[in-house]
Amino acid sequence: MIKRSPSLTDQVKSHIKEQILNDEFEGNRIPSETDLANDLGVSRTTVRDALSRLESEGVIYRKQGVGTFVNRPGLQIKSRLDEIWSYEAVLEAHGYRPSTKVLDVRREPAEPAFANALNVPVDAEILVVRKLFLEDHQPVILTCNYIPQVLIQKPFETTDLKVPVFDFLGEFGDQHLSYYLSEIVPVVATESLAHTLHVPALTAVLSLEEIGFNEENKPILKACSYFRDDLLRLGLIRRKV
């Protein structure tokens, strides 16, 4: 599978975060940028950028004139709404052993609302993929992904769709997901949705409606995900501005 290599900043960020999770920093104090740069063999600029990302994620915090410290409350969030994770990784973060099942693959013409969201002509062919993410055979997340067929550049098998959708787009469409515009929408489970997620009909379900954009700021994906909130919790850190 073709994947983009993580940037040096991402590698440094991941390394520091791993050290934090392993309690390698005495007194929860992060070493200075200079010390980290020397230890890791990278520039201070790279370290500074990595620390800024960790701060924005709520993993660390800075005290002016004192230093940088681990934010223990921030580490309590198992999976974050403000980051793009594969759903397998989300379930693993909750201590589950996930599996993925492709429920349905079809092609259909784009309805006006979808065509507008994906910037394609009305009736343009859309690849629709429904997947179920399970924990020990118990459904936890249902996803429906809508991808303009014109983006798919080579043939694929149904098994190829078991990977995260952004990996599929990278390998089969040379499209690299940069960010999502997302809306959190509480919904009441229809009979069909309730049956798929193994919950009673009319159960309240959290849904995430998203448009994914590539590095050129063009829409490449519409995604609708439905979560069982009795089995999964997503969090974020909100800051006063």
What pLDDT, in 10s, does the model give residues 210-239? Answer: 999 999 999 999 999 999 988 988 777 777
Is residue 3 over pLDDT 50?
no
Is the model more confident about 3 or about 150? 150
Same domain, 55 and 132: no
Q: Is residue 119 part of a domain?
A: yes
Q: Is residue 235 part of a domain?
A: no
pLDDT of residue 1: 30
Confidence of residue 136 (pLDDT cuts 50, 70, 90): confident
Same domain, 114 and 69: no
Same domain, 100 and 139: yes
Is residue 148 over pLDDT 70?
yes
How many domains does the chain contain in total? Answer: 2
Same domain, 126 and 218: yes
Compute the average pLDDT of residues 47-60.
90
pLDDT mean across residues, the chain: 91
- Closest CA relative to residue 123, chosen from 151, 148, 155: 148
Same domain, 209 and 120: yes
Q: Is residue 223 part of a domain?
A: yes
- Closest CA relative to residue 133, chosen from 93, 177, 174, 180: 93
For 72, the enclosing helix (H) or strand (E) is none
217 burial type by CB count under 10 A (0-12 exposed, 13-18 middle, 19+ buried): exposed
Q: Is residue 15 part of a domain?
A: yes
List, for residues 54-85, the tens digit of each pLDDT value.
998 889 999 988 999 999 988 877 667 777 88
Task: Give the structural domain span for 67.
Answer: 8-76
Compute the average pLDDT of residues 131-142.
95
Contact 236, 216 (CB under 8 A): no
| Dihedral, 166, 74, 206, 14 alpha carbons, nearest 10 | 10
Is the model more confident about 180 or about 77? 180
Q: What is the CATH number of the domain that holds 202?
A: 3.40.1410.10
Q: What is the CATH number of the domain that holds 44?
A: 1.10.10.10
Same domain, 126 and 173: yes
Same domain, 128 and 67: no
Residue 206 phi, psi (nearest 5): -85, 130
How far apart, in whole angstroms, are the C-alpha atoms of residue 226 and residue 189? Answer: 9
40 burial type by CB count under 10 A (0-12 exposed, 13-18 middle, 19+ buried): middle
Final residue in a domain of this structure, among 45, 76, 107: 76
Same domain, 128 and 39: no
pLDDT of residue 6: 65
Compute the average pLDDT of residues 144-152.
97
Same domain, 60 and 100: no
181 beta partners: 211
Q: Is residue 155 part of a domain?
A: yes
Confidence of residue 7 (pLDDT cuts 50, 70, 90): confident
Final residue in a domain of this structure, among 76, 104, 126: 76
CA 138 to chain CA mean position, Å: 21
Contact 141, 133 (CB under 8 A): yes
Confidence of residue 51 (pLDDT cuts 50, 70, 90): very high
Q: How many CB atoms lie within 10 A of CB 139?
A: 18
In the chain, the percentage of residues whose pLDDT exceeds 90 is 74
Same domain, 67 and 14: yes
Q: Is residue 81 part of a domain?
A: no
Confidence of residue 188 (pLDDT cuts 50, 70, 90): very high
Confidence (pTM): 0.77
Q: Is residue 165 part of a domain?
A: yes
Same domain, 60 and 127: no
pLDDT of residue 101: 97
pLDDT of residue 110: 96
Same domain, 179 and 146: yes
Is residue 155 over pLDDT 80?
yes
Is residue 165 over pLDDT 50?
yes
Final residue in a domain of this structure, among 76, 109, 126: 76
Q: Is residue 82 part of a domain?
A: no
